[in-house]
Amino acid sequence: QIGTTGAHMVVNTLGRHGKNNVKFDLDGRAALTEITLGSVYQSSLWDVDGKNVFNLRVNKEGLKFSNGLVGSYKEMKLEHTHDLTFAGLSLTYASNLDNAISPDRFYKHHFDFQVQPFTLTANVNNNFKYGNADVVNVAQLQLEPLKVGFDGNVRGAYGSDEVRHTYAFKYADLTANFKTDT
């Protein structure tokens, strides 16, 4: 549909066979001040459930993008999201993953970063568990003109045995400092 306010498009699809079904929706709009696009895919096929949601918006305030995926099969599950925002001179991104095969076998991560004029910050968290084995990683990064900060820690365990490692690197005012501990 095209009119004086812009263009609009909608697509809807649905398929079924017995207990199995698939649904897809797409919605797009274009105007002089904004463009948006969104879609949703949802399915249930042979005990596997899935859903994907996508959104994109561009206007005078900037760009915003998000995507989310959710899936499951029996006790297995997956959830993965991405968010990106670009407004003016700043950029923000975040990614999250939660993937589980069973309650004692999983991987999770969180990653985000922000960029603004003259600064960048980033954070990452990872958690991996497989039975008695467990590994966790946490790290942070900060960058500014003539300054760097990077620190984090890693922890690994198997049953009651554990290893920990921490690290830190800092640079500012022509001085660098590096510390580790295991």
Q: What is the DSSP pairing of strand 133-144 with strand 147-158?
A: antiparallel
Among 12, 74, 22, CA closest to 43: 22
Residue 176 identity (one-letter amino acid): A
pLDDT for position 6: 85
73's tokens: 């099969």
Rounded Cα–Cα distance for residues 78 and 145 (Å): 39
121's tokens: 């910050």
pLDDT for position 182: 86
* pTM for the model: 0.84
Rounded Cα–Cα distance for residues 30 and 18 (Å): 38
The answer to whether 110 and 124 have CB atoms below 8 angstroms apart is yes
Digits of tens for pLDDT over the chain (182 positions)? 777 788 999 999 999 998 999 999 999 999 989 999 999 999 999 999 999 999 999 999 999 999 999 999 999 999 999 999 999 999 999 999 999 999 899 999 999 999 999 999 999 999 999 999 999 999 999 999 999 999 999 999 998 999 999 999 999 988 999 999 98
What is the Cα gyration radius of the chain?
22
Rounded Cα–Cα distance for residues 138 and 62 (Å): 31
17's tokens: 């066979």
| Residue pointed to by tokens 């029996």 | 74
Domain map of the chain by residue range? Answer: 33-177
pLDDT for position 107: 96
Cβ contacts of 161 within 8 Å, gap of 6 or more? none
